[in-house]
Each structure stands twice: as C-alpha cells, then as structure tokens.
Amino acid sequence: MQTSTSVDHAKPSIASRRGWRIRRTAAASLPDETHGPVDLREYYAKNRRYFWSLITVFQFGYSVFGIYFVSSYVGRLPYWVGARVWAQMIAPLAISVALLLLRSRLAHYVGLALMFVVMVFHYARVQIN
C-alpha cells in the first residue's frame, strides 16, 4: 500500500488526468466571480465551446477506455448485445461533439436530455455494494 507522500510525488496517472478534466469542466460551468446579477444564458453562450470541448475530450478518453476493455469479448456476444454496447460507448461522444458544434438552444436542451438518458441507460445495471 502506498503512503500519501509516495502518491503525491508520482507521475500523473490517467485517472488523475481525467479528474483534472472533470474539475476544469466544473470550473467552466459557472462564472468565477460575480458582481451583481449574472445572465447565465449569455455566460453559457460565450463559454459553451470551451465547456463542450472539455466534455468531448473526457468522453473521448472514456470511449477509448471502454473500447479497450470490451473489444476482446464483445465479438463473442450476440449481435444485438454487441451493437448495444458499442452504441452506449459511442453515443455520449457523438452527443458531446454535436453540442460542441451546434449553436441552437433547442439542440442543447435535446442533447442534454439525450445525454442523461444514455447515461442512465448505460449505468442502469451498475450496483455499488
């Protein structure tokens, strides 16, 4: 078991880099400092490309990990199960790329709803014991 000092001086791992992207994404979600009222629609319109580029980078890494871990056994699954696995891994990446490129507010509402549905469907069978 590693002590905290040995972990602190280790090279950044893949998990810590993913954590960095999550922290940067959270930081991009809301303004740092506010002086008076803030129009969040305007803030989102200005920062949406940065926000969705971070989400896209995260989803790309997540998809690559998923492909790496399931590619060896997905061929042995029935076709429809394999197709569902691939779709669940690729859909969040495709949605985040679409939201990065599209400017329509309606597209962003629909895209966010689809992202939540895909994630709920993806993690529906996961249990934390």
Strands (E), 1-129: none
Can you give the pTM of this predicted structure?
0.71
CA angle (49, 119, 23) in 5-degree steps: 45
| Residue 51 three-state SS | helix
Range of the domain at 47: 4-123
The answer to whether the beta carbons of residues 55 and 32 sit under 8 Å apart is: no
Residue owning tokens 């992202």: 115
Residue 128: inside a domain: no
Residue 118: inside a domain: yes
Number of domains forming the structure of the chain: 1
Residue 23: inside a domain: yes
The answer to whether the beta carbons of residues 100 and 53 sit under 8 Å apart is: yes
Residue 32: inside a domain: yes
Residue 87: inside a domain: yes
Q: pLDDT tens string for the chain (129 positions)? A: 444 444 444 445 555 655 666 677 666 677 777 788 888 888 888 889 988 998 999 899 989 988 888 888 888 888 888 888 888 889 999 999 999 999 999 999 999 999 999 988 888 877 666
Residue 129: inside a domain: no
What residues contact residue 49 under an 8 Å CB cut-off, 6+ apart? 100
The answer to whether the beta carbons of residues 63 and 90 sit under 8 Å apart is: yes
Residue 66: inside a domain: yes
In whole angstroms, give the CA distance from residue 85 to residue 64: 13
Residue 28: inside a domain: yes
